[in-house]
Every structure is written in C-alpha cells, then in structure tokens.
Structure 1
C-alpha cells in the first residue's frame, strides 16, 4: 500500500515537472519571440531612418549640383564679358545678342558683319537660350547662326569656339545653319538672310 502511494506521488511529481517544463518552455519561446519582434521593429526603424537620410543626401547632392552648374554658367558669363558689350547688343537670357531684322546677307558676309560689330555669328548654348532667342525673331524671318559644316559635311562646328555640335534632328542638305521661330534648318550659305550676332565667342 505504501509502495502504491509512493508510485502515485512520483507520477504526480513527474506530471507537475512536465507541466512546469512546458510552462517554462512556452515562456522562453514567448520571450524569444518578443525579443526578436522588438529587434525586428528596431531594425525596421533604423532602416527607415537610413532611407530618409539617403533620400535627403540625394536631394542635397542634386541641389548642390544644380547650384554648381549655375555658378559655372555665371562665372563663364563673367569671364566672357571682361571686355565691354558692343553697341546695339541686348541681353537675352545670360548673354548678349544683336538680331538683324532689316538687312539680309549671305552667311559669309553676315559672319564678317558680326566680327566688325565686335562679336560673332550666334550659336545657342542650350535649348533654353535658343527658345528665348526664337521669341525675338520675326514670324516669317530666317536668321543665320554661327554654325556650319563647311570643313566636313555632317560635322557642324561653332564658328566662334571651333567646337563640334551634334544635331540628331537636322538633315545636312546644305552647309550653313539658320534659325526661324519654329526650328533650325540647313540652308545654302550664299542665300541672303537676316542674322544673329553674339557678343562672346562661346
């Protein structure tokens, strides 16, 4: 009888131990999951902060690049205008131009006239500048620019700087470039047209 009681007691103890072990194991799992969840939340928060910092860094870099480009253009303009602006030239954008609306000359004569005035036949530095010049042109006018491919057909060169300019939308049927209020075109260099001069070389 005593042995039966001891056996029942041992069984009860084992059951209690097993229950305690299960409870402890579950508690440990819950703690591990809680720790992992907390770590995951912290990592996620850190990643979000890093992403925001990276975004801000990219925005700052873009802003600095834009400001640097503006400063370069301003510096370039200052370098170009250490000499006085020739008479009759007007500021269009950041540079100075003279637009001849009345008389017409062939490309070579127009280039010579611009030099006599203290400038060169014009060449737009960028699309924004070209658009500003276009606004000043007469509706039916066609104006010589300082760009040609006289040396090598298809290789357009800036008359003032000697730098090659690539035009993917122009078919080089002729050797000299002209500008209207709508677009630019290649024309016979001996055609008589209005012309545009610029005060600097570039």
Structure 2
C-alpha cells in the first residue's frame, strides 16, 4: 500500500510540473499524449489493468483516467480506438447513480450510455465506467481492460 501511495505522490508532482508547463506552452512535452479536440489524451492499447490500476498508471504518466466534455471530443477519441473496451475515469463508488469524474471530483458532464445502461447485472456491483464498442457501460472495477488518460483535470 505504501508503494502505491508513493507512486501516486510521484505522479502528482509530475502532473503539477506538466500543468505548469501547459499554462505557458500549448503543446506539452508529455510522451504518448496527443491532442484530440482541445485536450490531450493517452490511449493505452497494449496493457490491461483494473480500474484502480489504470488510474495509478494515468497518474504516473502525469494525467488522470479520462472523462469527456462533449460529443465532439467523444467522437474524436472513438476514431483512435483499436480495441473494443477501455476504462474511463468515471465511477459511482461513493453513491449509486452519482457518476463522478476522478480527475475533477465533480459529476461527469458527458455520458453516452449503451442501451439499458447503467445496469448492475445480477446484483453485481458495477461501479466503474468504460467504453464498450464506442458507448459507455458499467463493470466491476477489478476487471482488467485497456484505458484512456487525459492530461488535465478539467472534467
């Protein structure tokens, strides 16, 4: 646990440095992040992690698990996807039905649910949000999937 906390602290320091650079430089020098719409994202196509593992990996890269601002940004991300399932930085861990962005700590502003979602299958807690074939769905947070990071904490 201490190792995880240290990794999160290191990632926070890195993020603070990146955000300081962003204020004076519109093109950040952050490996793997690319501009999609008005923001920067990293799409992990190779590695699979639990939702918490994906959040830690994004923090180590200097960002957060991603949440989207609008349909245009969502469509821009979908064009870049190679695999069917990616974790997003939205969850309802604190209160059922209240979907919150991990980056901002605020309610998620854009949700594009699959038909009949959000839904807990057979009373299994599905608190974490992911993209499945280009639409949002909920799943158990301990499952391993690819993930998308955002560089800022706006959404």
- Native 8 Å contact 2:41 2:151 kept in 1: yes
Choose the corresponding residue for 1:146, options 89, 96, 101: 89
Encode CA deviations 1:46-82: one digit per residue, 9 max, x unaligned: xxxxxxxxxxxxxxxxxxxxxxxxxxxxxxxx99931
In structure 2, what is the equivalent of residue 82 of structure 1? 23
Choose the corresponding residue for 1:96, options 19, 40, 45: 40
- CA distance in 2 between partners of 1:119 and 1:171 (Å): 26
Q: Structure 1: which 5+ residue stretches go unaligned?
A: 1-77
Q: Structure 2: which 5+ residue stretches go unaligned?
A: 1-18, 121-125
Report which structure shows greater RCO (CA 8 Å, sep ≥6): 2
Per the normalisation by structure 1, the TM-score is: 0.57
> By percentage of residues, which structure has more helix?
1
Are residue 133 (structure 1) and residue 77 (structure 2) matched? yes
- Native 8 Å contact 1:179 1:185 kept in 2: yes
SS in 2 for 1:164: coil
- CA distance in 1 between partners of 2:72 and 2:21 (Å): 19
In structure 1, what is the equivalent of residue 127 of structure 2? 175
- CA distance in 2 between partners of 1:89 and 1:198 (Å): 8
Choose the corresponding residue for 1:194, options 141, 146, 149: 146
- Native 8 Å contact 1:137 1:181 kept in 2: no
Per the normalisation by structure 2, the TM-score is: 0.73
> By percentage of residues, which structure has more strand?
2
Between structure 1 and structure 2, the one with the greater Rg is 1
- CA distance in 1 between partners of 2:67 and 2:112 (Å): 16
RMSD (Å), alpha carbons: 2.2
- CA distance in 2 between partners of 1:128 and 1:150 (Å): 27
